[in-house]
Amino acid sequence: MLSEYYHISKKEGGWLWNKKGVRLYTYTFEFLWETREEYLSFVQEWKADWKQLSARLKAAKLKVKEAMRSGEGYRDQEHVKSLKEYAWMLLEMRRQGKVLSWKQAKAQKEAAA
């Protein structure tokens, strides 16, 4: 489970929106891994979560499209927005995780030298 590898220590903003209608928050994550193997496990979990989210988002968009054709799709759009916000958070998590893993690798390399 992905939540075993991180905590959200800070969530700020929420007053900015991107062109897709996604509310932009600034997240600060506290990651719970210390070794490369734990980081690679995190990456595998992240990819699995991303794949599942992509499928859910695709299904939700299709549901909105079909509902809009019948004139009732406005309620379903909020669900799509929330999925997109979660996707934005996952991308930010991945970016911050990469930065931390690079720093850890650099510190291990310097300690070994």
pLDDT, position 73: 67
pLDDT cut 90: percent of the chain above it = 54
φ/ψ (deg, to 5) at 80: -65, -40
Question: Which tokens hold the place of 102?
Answer: 């690079």
pLDDT, position 59: 95
pLDDT, position 66: 87
Over range 70-95, report the average pLDDT.
86
pLDDT, position 95: 96
Q: Is pLDDT above 90 for 45?
A: yes
Over range 60-64, report the average pLDDT.
91
* Helices within the chain (DSSP H only): 36-70, 74-112
Q: Helix (H, G, I), strand (E, B), or coil: what is residue 43?
A: helix
Give me the number of domains the chain comprises.
Answer: 1
Range of the domain at 16: 2-112
Q: Helix (H, G, I), strand (E, B), or coil: what is residue 113?
A: coil
Say which residues have a Cβ less than 8 Å from residue 105's Cβ, sequence separation at least 6.
Answer: 36
